[in-house]
Amino acid sequence: MKKVVLITGASSGMGKATAQLLAQQGYKVYAAARRTDKMNDLLPLGITPVQMDVTDDDSMVNGVQHIIAKEGKIGILVNNAGFGAYGAVEDMPLNEARYQLEVNVFGAARLAQLALPYMRSQRWGKIVNISSIGGKFALPLGGWYHASKFALEGLSDSLRNEVKQFGIDVIVIEPGGVQSEWGNIAVDNLLKVSGHSVYRPMADRFVAMGKAAAEKGVSPMVIARLVQKAITDAKPKTRYAAGYMADGMLFMNKVFSDKMMDGMVRSQFKVKL
């Protein structure tokens, strides 16, 4: 029997690539996003688009109920929907910070709540939370984005040990640099928030670094294959990482002291004390 998968944020980037790959591997894929018209190219693969806004509870409830009505089950949830609200903590309006957490954390948590009763009843399931290497260390101007990913990592750790008894795995994916629209959206938001403040020099440096990193980012299909590996491993790891600078940055974060990491970051951003 086909395993039923719900993937959020599937209208582009890693979400769309994951939907395509899993459909080609025989999974029954429901691809969720706010704009279903951006997923018409998925129809020939047998993928079912679902209109869903992860900040709207009714939208999430209706989406999951639609899948259950069609399939009677849901086995795999890939919480991929997310974005980066960049700007200095001092500059960031708190309503925008709250929205960042609503999308990146509370949306994932709510969908887990909705899917878990069905996973428990079949005593099998996979919840895959797409975090970031930025869920392990924080760079300047990304405070609220990093806060959301740190929160998602901690939430995943708690959830993993709650639901393992029911045969359900909770897996974290930590992408590094990936070719997608994400970077342009983050840069636009950064310049809107801090492009005219005392943090402008730091923002300009961030933009230059971001452009250089974007040219070296991996294809979204690299992350899609990582998701596929995670959900098919007999004994999945708690975390998988891939993408530009993922291994190097995670290694440095593990072995460097906080002060060493701070010094490296300030050097990259040309911050003079």
The yes-or-no answer on residue 11 being catalytic is: yes
Q: Which of 11, 132, 148, 180 is catalytic?
A: 11
Neighbouring residues of 68: CB distance < 8 A, sequence distance ≥ 6? 74, 118
Q: Where are the alpha helices (DSSP H) in the chain?
A: 13-24, 57-71, 94-101, 107-122, 143-163, 182-194, 200-216, 220-232, 246-255, 258-268
How many CB atoms lie under 10 A from the CB of residue 16?
Answer: 25
Written in H, E and C, the secondary structure of 113-167 is: HHHHHHHHHHCCEEEEEECCHHHCCCCCCCHHHHHHHHHHHHHHHHHHHHHHHHC
Q: Which of 28, 86, 126, 131 is catalytic?
A: 131
245: left (phi over 0), alpha (psi -120 to 50) or beta: left
The yes-or-no answer on residue 267 being catalytic is: no
Residue position matching structure tokens 């719900």: 6
Q: Which of 86, 118, 145, 244 is catalytic?
A: 145
d(CA 168, CA 151): 20
The yes-or-no answer on residue 99 being catalytic is: no
Of 127, 121, 197, residue with least CA distance to 166: 121
> Are 43 and 209 within 8 A, CB to CB?
no
Neighbouring residues of 117: CB distance < 8 A, sequence distance ≥ 6? none
Neighbouring residues of 226: CB distance < 8 A, sequence distance ≥ 6? 173, 240, 242
The yes-or-no answer on residue 73 being catalytic is: no
Q: Which residues are catalytic?
A: 11, 131, 145, 149
